[in-house]
Amino acid sequence: MKGKKRVRKASMGESKIDEIINKHQSEASSLIQILLEIQREHHWLPKEALEKVSEKLNVPLSRIQHIVTFYKAFSLVPRGRHEIHVCMGTACHVRGAPRLLDTVQDMIGIKPGETDKDLKFSLETVNCLGCCALGPVMELDGKYHGKMAPTEVEGVLTKCD
């Protein structure tokens, strides 16, 4: 009985996946965009979603696996609803990024590369966000927060649901 509930729960997003694929007219040339949209919806790419995309677009699953493992933008494990990236590039590093990262880790209780148990936050460090003059920089859900001080982290994170 428990196994059936799990399978059903994993496939709950099938209609949304179909909607995304249909929006792109089931074109294999739209594969990366389709995968990005599915990930935006689910915060990761479940195996069932990859299998459905493979079937609908008539693209071998091995090719899809190659793509999602090649590009860092894709995740094959559940990610938090809110993604935090802390820049550790040279400009940010010398302006206090390590202290900023320590504060973020202390507040959300995870290390870079991890997702919290509630699937609220995922934390990553990056080599450069491309806005060195604003260092140290933290990106939260695509929004850049520059010249961040550790004392400002709580205010930024409390705006998350």
pTM across the whole model = 0.74
- The confidence score (pLDDT) of residue 13 equals 64
Rounded Cα distance between 93 and 18, Å, is 44
Give SS3 for 115: strand
- The confidence score (pLDDT) of residue 33 equals 94
Walk along the chain (161 residues) in steps of 10 and give the mean pLDDT of each run.
37 74 85 92 90 93 94 88 95 96 96 93 93 94 94 92 74
- N- to C-terminal Cα separation, the chain: 33
CATH class of the 82-157 domain in this structure:
alpha beta
Residue 112, token pair as written in the block: 């870079």
Give SS3 for 94: helix
Q: SS3 helix, strand, coil % of the chain, rounded to 5?
A: 50, 10, 35
Q: Which of 124, 120, 102, 122 is nearest to 112 (CA)?
A: 124
- The confidence score (pLDDT) of residue 18 equals 87
| CATH 3.40.30.10 intervals, the chain | 82-157
CB atoms within 10 A of CB 143: 9
Rounded Cα distance between 33 and 101, Å, is 31
Give SS3 for 121: strand
- The confidence score (pLDDT) of residue 34 equals 94
